[in-house]
Amino acid sequence: MGLAALKSSAWFTLYIRCENCMRDSERVVQMPIGDEVPRDAEELIESVYLEKIPFRCQPCGSVIGRLVGITGGTAYDN
Enumerate residues 6+ apart whose C-beta is below 8 A from 38: 10, 31, 44, 46, 47, 49, 73
Smallest separation (angstroms) from Zn ion to the CB of 58:
8
User: Nearest distance from residue 15's CB to Zn ion, in Å?
Assistant: 14
Min dist. Cβ of residue 25 to Zn ion (A)? 8
Q: Which CB sits closer to Zn ion, 8 or 59?
A: 59
Applying CB under 5 A, the residues found at the interface with Zn ion are 18, 20-21, 57, 60, 62
Q: Does an H or E element contain 11, and which?
A: strand 11-18
